[in-house]
Amino acid sequence: MTLHIPFDNTYTALGSVFYRKQAPEPVSQPRVLAFNHDLAQLLGITPGDLPEMAEVFGGNRVPEGADPLAQLYAGHQFGTFNPQLGDGRAVLLGEVVGTDGIRRDIQLKGSGRTPYSRRGDGRAWMGPVLREYVVSEAMHALGIPTTRALAAVETGDPVWREGAMPGAVLTRVAASHLRVGTFQIFAARGEREALKRLTHYAIERHYPGVDGPMGLLRAVRDAQARLVAQWMSVGFIHGVMNTDNCTISGETIDYGPCAFMDIYNPSQVFSSIDRMGRYAYDNQPGIIVWNLAQLATALIQQLEDPQEAVEEATEIVHAMPGMIEREWLSRFAAKIGIARPQTSDMTLIEDLLERMAAGQADFTNTFRALSGEAARDQFIDPEAFDGWADGWRQRLEAEENPKTLMQQVNPAFIPRNHRMEEMIAAAVSGNMALFERMNTVLSRPYEDQPEHADLQNPPKPDEVVPATFCGT
Ligand code: AMP
Ligand code: MG
């Protein structure tokens, strides 16, 4: 079989101010570590034999129809504006329209230097590549909008991080790679025409029919409000919510230092570079609003008189916290078996969360156990749970099918940090068994899979992973 990717590119036509043409840099000995056949099928891609796939997804051969380029963008990193970022270690090969009619980008990440690499080497090592593969596919299976992973290829070249690490390239698939930062760069430069064209392109691609820049702002707000509530509902901490890592499509992107919580701790931070806790678990709803305000600021720069739009843009942004709160309430209510929440259910949920934090309860396992008998065992002091559960059981009398609802929304399996570390260590020494098992199990996260119960266990004290690294 010969690899075939049905490219249908549109970004190139947007204009050369938006990117630089850049082919991936060749690697020594590409070898396929993983290929996602289900996703390939959705994208209309015919897989080839392994050596050919290694050549293409390792970056040694540009496939027919591809038009590789590095995209330009800026972004606020930890609150500080960086006027020029861009794909420093990634190239967009092109776009395909899937069997579902959705247009998606196919990007190689870790594919070598580009005009935007600054001092970076343009590369990635196997650890973060496999981590992004597993976590992004797990997020997809959880029902959370996300970029996806099509392939992981080992390069055969060392990458220098805390020492020599095996290099790898991830093939990332996204509804697009447009970010808040893509708008910010042209706004900062006062390039109104470019901003207008980008706005038009984003609307056509993601929200056809919405009206102008303020319509786009509303649509992104709605998508990001839903997204952050979904993250919260599974204990996901993104870790680096810079505006260049915040998509226009509403997909989760950039799995650098992300992690799922084990023990519930609202102020949990994993990222080793997030010293101030800006991107802590419970700061995420506030940060997404801040990011949307940056998008608003950028979008209005395309207007003849930006001042005229300030009031409307402000209103749109100010409505976001309330929307997130409603999304949050509906998701957390479902987690405790309530299908149609009332405002008063907020207190019930918050009471449980407070007791979970005090009782050092595992976030995932506690919610999963609510539909069984064992939830109280998750708490240091099980009576703290009992004190909550009486009121909860009374409330559930008004619900039709709380058990089923809870099982549908509370995952049994998440990618636990300590197992991810174990998976990466094994993969580096050539053993892909845990990687493959995690992918299989995490593709059905809401099903009990007793033969894989070990993947549900929280870390033992000596297994706890205290920090995650950008891994760049
Ligand atoms: P990130 O924190 O991964 O979102 O990356 C922020 C910026 O740094 C983006 O412009 C990346 O392309 C760039 N970058 C990250 N790692 C590297 C690397 N190893 N080489 C070149 N550029 C990089
Ligand atoms: Mg990024």
Ligand 1 atom closest to the CA of 122, numbered from 1: 20
CB 393 within 8 A of CB 429: no
Please report whether residue 265 resides in a domain. Answer: no
Minimum CA distance residue for ligand 1 atom 15: 472
User: Residue 83 above 80 pLDDT?
Assistant: yes
Residue at 5 is within a domain: no
What phi and psi, each to the nearest 5 degrees, are found at residue 367? -65, -40
Domain final position from 135, 156, 174 = 174
pLDDT in tens, 212-223: 999 999 999 999
Provide the pLDDT confidence category of residue 36 given band limits of 50, 70 and 90.
very high
- Write down the pLDDT at residue 30: 98
Helices and strands per DSSP (H, E), number in the chain: 15, 12
Q: Which residues contact 101 (CB under 8 A, 6 or more apart)?
A: none
Contact 222, 39 (CB under 8 A): no
Q: What is the pLDDT of residue 470?
A: 54
Res. 358 pLDDT band, cuts 50 70 90: very high
Write the DSSP symbol of residue 25.
P
- Which of 131, 146, 174 terminates a domain? The answer is 174
- Spatial separation of the C-alpha atoms in residues 9 and 176, rounded to whole Å: 12
CA 100/CA 84 separation, integer angstroms? 35
pLDDT in tens, 41-72: 999 999 999 999 999 999 999 999 999 999 99
In a domain, 266, yes or no: no
Distance, CA of 61 to CA of 24 (rounded, Å): 8
| Ligand 2 geometric centre to CA of 217 (Å) | 21
In angstroms, rounded to a whole number, what is the distance separating the alpha carbons of residues 141 and 160? 33
The domain total for the chain is 2
**Position in ligand 1 atom list of the atom nearest CA 121:** 20
Residue type, 375: A
User: For the CA atoms of the chain, what is the radius of gyration?
Assistant: 22
pLDDT band at 466 (very low <50, low <70, confident <90, very high): confident
How far is the centre of ligand 1, averaged over its atoms, from the C-alpha of 245 (Å)? 11
Q: pTM for the whole thing? A: 0.98
Cβ atoms of 75 and 184 closer than 8 Å: yes
- How many angstroms separate the CA atoms of 10 and 24, rounded? 19
pLDDT at 242 over 80: yes
Domain end position, chosen among 143, 174, 205 = 174
> How much is the pLDDT for 437?
98
For residue 469, what pLDDT is reported? 67
- Domain hosting 139: range is 11-174
| Active site (catalytic) residues | 244
From the CA of 333, how far away is ligand 1's center (Å)? Answer: 38
Q: Is residue 454 part of a domain?
A: no
Of 72, 80, 89, the residue with max ligand 1 atoms within 8 A of its CB, to mutate for a pocket test, comes to: 89
How many angstroms does the Cα of residue 194 sit away from the middle of ligand 2?
Answer: 22
Q: Using one digit for the tens of pLDDT, what is the confidence trace for 428-442?
A: 999 999 999 999 999
191 lines ligand 1 (CB under 6 A): no
Q: Band the pLDDT of 373: cuts 50, 70, 90.
A: confident
> Which atom number of ligand 1 is nearest to the Cα of residue 124?
19
Task: Extract the runs of DSSP E, i.e. beta strands, from 220-271.
Answer: 236-237, 259-260
